[in-house]
Structure 1
């Protein structure tokens, strides 16, 4: 992963934590929708995929749990964690 990818990863991670905390309990959304298009765009496809796996493996960090698959994209739900 390039250095810019690492800082982009950190940026989307912080935005996701902030935006997920503001979501109503039980609401479902895709990570891309929670973060927003502008911060999400700099991540390469492989980094996006790894970031999604990271979110799924760390529900306590983001307050999101895996809910279902919509097409080929994971949907997460705001949890009480």
Structure 2
């Protein structure tokens, strides 16, 4: 689920909390995970650079090569 956040009705959130507690009761903490995806631009050069006075600095096109990473941890930290 992604996108802009929308306001939720208070009734809906309390129902979801009850439902979630019932679902999680069937699992041990080591089996409950939280995960998120991020991108690592590993060939990206800095936008600015330092040069000596009088030296030219040429512009380079930014690379879009990246690796997608999935970071996850379980509830008990094992």
Greater CA radius of gyration, 1 or 2? Answer: 2
Which one has the bigger helix percentage?
Answer: 1
Question: More relative contact order in 1 or in 2 (CA 8 Å, sep 6+)?
Answer: 2
Structure 2 length normalisation: TM-score? 0.29
